[in-house]
Each structure stands twice: as structure tokens, then as C-alpha cells.
Amino acid sequence: MEPTFSTRQRGRAHLAEDRKRGAGDLVPSLALCPLPGVHIDALETHDAPMKPRLVELLCCPACGAGLTCHSFEDRPDPKGLALGGEAYGTEVVCGLLACQTCDLAFPIIEEVPRVIRNAFEEYANWFSDQAARISAIEGLGAVSQKIGSVDSSRFDKRSNESFSLQWEKYQYGDKTWFKSDLDQRRDEFLDAMQLTAEQLDGKLVLDAGCGNGRLTASVTRYGAEVVGMDLSRSVVRAQEMREEHAGENAHYLHFVQGNVMEPPFPPNTFDHEHTSGVLHHTPSTERSLDSFLTLVKPGGRVYVQLYRTREPWIGIPNAIIRAFTSRLPLRLLFGICYTVAPLHRLLVLMVAKLRGESSPIEETTRREQAVSLFDNYSPRYQYRYTPSEMQALFENRDLKNVRDVTFDNEARHMVAFAGDK
């Protein structure tokens, strides 16, 4: 469904009402503070960079306090202003988000806020390049104090690097998991969430672990405002491509680098939440599910898709091979995946033939196959669940209307449930 102009206007009004009514009380208010002398009007044209609207939604992942946005480079966006009001009327290209309480600071680089605890470590060069601008911010302590302590039970560096490389290898236009994002996956999104396009219109939706962000972007075409969050640097290219994938709805699409185990959003922020193929890659599926669930408003719909426990004849060899491959240097492993992809394809087709089935791998390119193989063999964590285990995960957390919504076309590998908070 292509929403009309007036529908989107109504949608934003709903969001504003929702914010006034409930979660909005918890959402920190925006403080956009251009530094004197560094407001830059004549920048190169970028497609819809980060909006102040996203800052309204964000909070410090460490202490939950609000963030103040110090803009180093921004420009007005008259179209955003007309469509959604002031929160959409400025585009922040580069800046710093400073916690109002705990002394952490998070960079906005290439239009994307990086609200992860280890931002200072991951973006050390950026902090050093921007040192003069940062030290000009009144009341902000020394940059060296902005180092967040990284807890390995919540943050895995290999996952971050592995998925960053995986999405760097992926080319926009490739299929994702052998499906097209802009039609098949977008249509399936409604079945997954068990919502109609009309029910999504005007809602605020989180896609946690959004990967390449293509599905995330396509969902804005239902009239929803969508936030894509990912631990990896995939969000940078997702942001670059968002106009192309979301069209005129790109104003209602936001990307943030964030960790679902330490989310940069206050509780009860989103109307609905979606996460596919993500939580089993974190150090603890249960704990990441808990923090994911805090973010949705009471009554909101959640969809979670996890890896399914495989038959032993596949599951055991897979675990043995992974024990070795998930320790290999990332680029070496990607090279191996690319090299063996044709052989793997042949094996998959043979097994499919023996089963009397067809396989989507038939229609895929070598790069798409290599990305998919790497996705299986590289990540450190890969927990698997049976449908009854997943049902228990949902029911033990008091979710209502819990149902198995696994698609037939992925039931061999995945298990997916929807429920209401």
C-alpha cells in the first residue's frame, strides 16, 4: 500500500498523541545545540541524514538518561519540516550526543548516531579528528573520560566486526537470505507481524538487528515510522540507501548503531517491534529478548525469529565446523566461503533433489551464497531453539496471544513467534 500524503500526516499526529499520552513522558526531550561558528549551511547534498526526531527517541545505553545533541554540521530540511514538523526539519550530518547524566558521549558520523558503549574505542580516529570541536562544547569533560566500560557478557567484538564485514560484502540489489526485500520480504513482514498495512500506518516500529536495512526501509511504505538498529556498521550503508528504498517515506526512516542488549531507547518507546535472525547471535538470547521486550509499549506486537534446532545429521557437523571457523580471521573465512560456495550449492541442490523439493539457492549468485555461508560459519554465538522452547521463552515473559508464525519457506532453518506485550 502506498500511503497518501494526508495518511502520513495523520500518522505523525497519532505518534505525537501517543508520545503525549504515555511513553513520551519517558522520552528525553531534544536539545539541538549548534556550536558557535560551526553551523555549516553549504554542505554537499546527502539524502535525508539523521533527524532531531531520532534524538527525541534515543537515550544513553548505560544509564538511560537523555542525550543532548551537539551538532557540528547540519542543514535545514524544508520538506521534512512541512511533512513532520520541527523534529524532521533539520538534518544532522556530524555531531556528538552527550549523556545528560553519566558523562558518556556518542558520535554522529556519516549521518548515523553510534550509540554503543565502546564508541570511543571503535571511533578513536573520529574523536581525535573532532577533538577541537568537542573541547569547545561548554560543560563537557575531557574526551578521554568518555570511554564506556565494555562488558563482554553484553557486547561481542567479533560479532560487530563479522557482521560489519558481511554487510560490506553484500551489494545492494542482492537478495537477502535468497529473498527480495522490496517485495517478498516486505509482503511477508505483514504475515510475520500479523498486522495489516492499515494497522502499521502511523505507528513507530523498531527493527532490532536490521542488517542491511532493506527490509526496514521497505516497511516505511506501509506508512510506519521505522527505526533500524544494528550493532554493526551496516547502518552506514543502510542510511546511504534509504532514499532509494523508502522513497518519499525516507523522512520516517532512521538508522542507529546500537546493541539490543544495551539498547539506546527508553522503555515503552515503540508501538511494535520486529527482530529476525538476531537474538541468537548475542551472548544470551534470553537477556537480549528481555531488553528487546522492554522497548515495546504495553499492548504492542512483537515478532522474534530465531534459528531452529536442526536434525542431528546436520546440526552436529555444523557445530563441529563452526567451532573451527568462528575463530578464523574474518577476511580469510569470507574467502573460503566464496571459494566453496559453488560446491555447497551443488550439495544443497542434491539434497533438495533427494527430498523431491526445489531450493531457492538455484536462483542465487555466488556472492549471495558466500554471504549466507559466512553468516552461518563466522558469528561466535549461534544458539538454536525448537518451537516449544521458543514458545516457552515467550510465555515465561507473560506475552499474550503467543503464536508460531514461522513461514513454510524457512521452517527448516528458522522458528518465529509473535505475541503481544
Among 74, 188, 225, 230, binds ligand SAM (CB under 6 A): 230
Q: Which helix (DSSP H) or strand (DSSP E) does residue 210 occupy? A: none
* C-beta atoms surrounding 233 within 10 Å: 22
Smallest separation, CB 181 to ligand SAM (Å): 8
Total site size for ligand SAM, rule CB under 6 A: 20
Smallest separation, CB 282 to ligand SAM (Å): 4
Q: Which helix (DSSP H) or strand (DSSP E) does residue 174 occupy? A: none
Rounded-to-integer distance, Cα 126 and Cα 285, Å:
32
- The DSSP letter of residue 96 is E
Nearer to ligand SAM, 9 or 318 (CB): 318
Which range touches ligand SAM (CB under 6 A), out of 40-48, 62-70, 228-236, 328-336?
Answer: 228-236
Which range touches ligand SAM (CB under 6 A), out of 80-88, 130-138, 210-218, 342-350?
Answer: 210-218
Site for ligand SAM in 150-179 (CB under 6 A): 159, 163, 176
The answer to the question of residue 261 lying near ligand SAM (CB under 6 A) is yes
Cell numbers found for residue 162: 563479522
Smallest separation, CB 42 to ligand SAM (Å): 35
Rounded-to-integer distance, Cα 380 and Cα 282, Å:
9
CB distance 359 to 396 below 8 Å: no
Which range touches ligand SAM (CB under 6 A), out of 30-38, 138-146, 243-251, 256-264?
Answer: 256-264
User: Which positions ≥6 away from 140 have C-beta within 8 Å?
Assistant: 70, 96, 98, 105, 134
Nearer to ligand SAM, 204 or 261 (CB): 261
Nearer to ligand SAM, 68 or 176 (CB): 176
Rounded-to-integer distance, Cα 23 and Cα 203, Å:
13
Rounded-to-integer distance, Cα 272 and Cα 222, Å:
13
User: Which positions ≥6 away from 27 have C-beta within 8 Å?
Assistant: 19, 56, 57, 59, 266, 269
Smallest separation, CB 197 to ligand SAM (Å): 20
Which range touches ligand SAM (CB under 6 A), out of 14-22, 91-99, 259-267, 399-407?
Answer: 259-267
Among 232, 268, 391, 406, binds ligand SAM (CB under 6 A): 232
Smallest separation, CB 145 to ligand SAM (Å): 25
CA distances from 288 to 293, 304, 393, 403 (A): 9, 11, 12, 20
Nearer to ligand SAM, 106 or 163 (CB): 163
Residue number with the shortest CB distance to ligand SAM?
A: 211
Cα 369 from chain centre: 22
Cell numbers found for residue 213: 536495512
> What is the full DSSP assignment across 391-421?
HHHHHTTT-EEEEE---GGGTTTEEEEEEE-
Rounded-to-integer distance, Cα 368 and Cα 124, Å:
32
Smallest separation, CB 365 to ligand SAM (Å): 17
Which range touches ligand SAM (CB under 6 A), out of 10-18, 191-199, 253-261, 349-357?
Answer: 253-261
Residue window 268-287: x/- pattern of binding to ligand SAM, with contact defined by CB under 6 A: --------xxx--xx-----
For the chain, helix, strand, coil in percent to 5 are: 45, 20, 35
Nearer to ligand SAM, 83 or 192 (CB): 192
Smallest separation, CB 154 to ligand SAM (Å): 8
Nearer to ligand SAM, 177 or 252 (CB): 177
CB distance 66 to 28 below 8 Å: yes
Nearer to ligand SAM, 88 or 163 (CB): 163
Smallest separation, CB 163 to ligand SAM (Å): 3
Rounded-to-integer distance, Cα 263 and Cα 265, Å:
6
Among 234, 269, 285, 378, binds ligand SAM (CB under 6 A): 234
Cα 266 from chain centre: 16
Smallest separation, CB 81 to ligand SAM (Å): 31
Among 148, 209, 300, 419, binds ligand SAM (CB under 6 A): 209
Rounded-to-integer distance, Cα 318 and Cα 67, Å:
43
Site for ligand SAM in 334-393 (CB under 6 A): 375
Identity at 201, one-letter amino acid code: D
Among 259, 268, 364, 369, binds ligand SAM (CB under 6 A): 259
Rounded-to-integer distance, Cα 110 and Cα 421, Å:
35
Provide the binding-site residues for ligand SAM, judged by CB under 6 A.
Answer: 159, 163, 176, 209-211, 215, 230-232, 234, 259-261, 276-278, 281-282, 375
